[in-house]
Structure 1
């Protein structure tokens, strides 16, 4: 495996090269580059498994280079910098780094990071598809849909990741009758040590093949959930599962935005009433300002068929968009399933609401089982 080092510090380059060589990576002295040399040199290289980029002393220049490398360079990019600046860690991950190494403990941290990356380096794979569910207001039923959508996808792919990002009120664990031991806040409190093993141990598995990463169990721990931790957890989920379903809240806080920006599909779940339609319109305007492509966003009406609801044609006219999917009202089947902690697609697989959710899963399913 071939590795390159991008650094302005000779002493740091020497230390990194020693670790890379010890770990069995090919890194001759000709693979040590400066920031200025990198684009010219790596633009002609095809055999690159790993790039180790040292951020200091020219942090902004290094981040600009990282952004460019993430667009074209093969292999994974490992950033080396201080972990005392959480904003820098987040910016680095957003720019395209796969992992972040603490410069203060370089040798040990780098060796651990290479061990974490070894599978990705030797067998690069397409990241799992990320499907985000967003409701414009409470009561839309997006959590019920998220749980059942994940279970439906797991029937095809055997294993699916499920992230509960409703940090204060998340109820996916209850809907699946699961009792998590660890949560997203635990991962975020250990963000500098987070690896695939720690991530997998934080998941709780449902019999269907769904693996849930739960929100904090206590409200006081919500503040521990940071965007950089969410970014790392999402990246690990996508490297581990063919599909990841994320149930978002409607606050548009930064940890929610991490997932919205990465999502392959955003399902905007709402009901056909005036309040929901007003909030859907506001959400669509805001997503447009965030420059999230409109083709990623699909409108999903839940509890369709209630009396006195706004006609679908008028809703589409008001929103200026077509509704992609309708999930029928079936309070009896949904309430019974939710109260039992059994997804309705399992509890009442033949019900119209279950068949509709399974059709929704088919519509987002861009991959076939291997």
Structure 2
């Protein structure tokens, strides 16, 4: 994405610098390019990394900090300089602004104040905002109530559907570190894996990151699970936070195919997700697992509210629980229904070709496009699917016009 602000910070205090880094990592389209603990070295850091924004905390030495701001303004005129300080002394603020600082932020810096300052800088640099709104990255975590319900095939084909829109740039991360197989669905042999990127993310920029990903013919980028089982054990949540931050700053859509173990990395991914698609089937074991998972999600603030229940393989057999009964059991609305088409999905899986290429006119393929549109907020496109005839009662529409959305997909893990 061209409107990402690359930032370098200098702050002699480790604690405040760490807090500032955490704030920056929480902003979608901001990339922390470099950090420095000494004013004397920051000019060299700026020369080597050429950031869009230099953020200087004056608290370590106000005099040296103001001199640095003045020097940066002269030697790096293309770089916007932001200043933070716990001091609210008017003379210090005036001297800093006269030295060339674009913004003065009171320390500790609040996220909304930093976002607003960066918004003003981005508007001047790119003519648009970098924070919030449609410009942010949509993060979709896809999870399964149990193995074999179709979560991986949904994640892969949803990613390909989103990538078919030239306005989107989409990456799929396979977070099933043990037995993930998203690469098999796309018939690719990746050169780099999740562990490679996580361990080297501090050295990557946007160009190197994309070179580390595998690009499919559909336009979807893939970051697959590690090759060796032991490699996944060395990936920490800190690694994931920085890696996801860079991916969010680079792509419009980030899809995460989680494992069925709901590890700390899976839960971390769901906490940072915009939407969580919980894939289940209309049988008692699956529905019971969804209930258990929703109870667990309720213990983390904001997690349950992002949950979208996706019922897969509707119409698979006469013994299935009805949609209405499933909703009563879950105590939660069904967001999307996915019709069963096992034959097509077996062909897709065995050939390593996504639905959008293997069967572009199939109902399943159209359903994925509708789901992608709904998740992207395009309600008009999402509602274009023809209403089914009475013979297609497998859609299980709600009575009285109150229905779960059914731009529906059938998938197989």
TM-score by length of 2: 0.66
Q: Name the counterpart of 2:307.
A: 297
CA apart distance, 1:195 = 2.5
Contact 1:7 1:33 in 2 (8 A): yes
Contact 1:302 1:328 in 2 (8 A): yes
Are positions 1:337 and 2:378 aligned together? no
CA apart distance, 1:139 = 1.0
2:101 and 2:272 mapped to 1: Cα distance?
Answer: 25
Q: Name the counterpart of 1:70.
A: 111
Q: Name the counterpart of 2:41.
A: none
Higher radius of gyration, 1 or 2: 2
CA apart distance, 1:52 = 10
Contact 1:158 1:209 in 2 (8 A): no
2:196 and 2:327 mapped to 1: Cα distance?
Answer: 42
1:329 and 1:260 mapped to 2: Cα distance?
Answer: 27
CA apart distance, 1:354 = 2.1
Q: Name the counterpart of 1:358.
A: 369
CA apart distance, 1:199 = 1.6
SS at structure 2 position matched to 1:302: strand
- In the TM superposition, 1:254-293 aligns within 5 A as 254-292=264-302
- In the TM superposition, 1:70-219 aligns within 5 A as 70-74=111-115, 122-123=125-126, 124-125=129-130, 126-156=135-165, 157=167, 159-219=169-229
- Is the alpha carbon distance of 1:340 and 1:293 closer, same or farther for their aligned partners in structure 2, counting shifts above 3 Å? same
Number of aligned residue pairs: 308
SS at structure 2 position matched to 1:167: coil
Contact 2:105 2:114 in 1 (8 A): no
Question: Could you report, residue by residue, the CA deviation over 1:167-199 in whole angstroms, capped at 9, with x for unpaired residues?
Answer: 111111110111110111012212332322332
SS at structure 1 position matched to 2:173: strand
Q: Name the counterpart of 2:21.
A: none
Contact 2:159 2:255 in 1 (8 A): yes
Contact 2:171 2:253 in 1 (8 A): yes
Which structure 1 segments of 5+ residues have no match? 54-61, 78-117
Q: Name the counterpart of 2:85.
A: 34
Question: Could you report, residue by residue, the CA deviation over 1:31-73 in whole angstroms, capped at 9, with x for unpaired residues?
Answer: 65433549xx8xxx9x9878999xxxxxxxx8xx35xx21332
Which structure 2 segments of 5+ residues have no match? 1-51, 382-413
CA apart distance, 1:132 = 1.2
CA apart distance, 1:121 = 9.3
SS at structure 2 position matched to 1:266: strand
Question: Could you report, residue by residue, the CA deviation over 1:300-345 in whole angstroms, capped at 9, with x for unpaired residues?
Answer: 0111112222221111001101111111111110011110000123
Contact 1:151 1:210 in 2 (8 A): yes
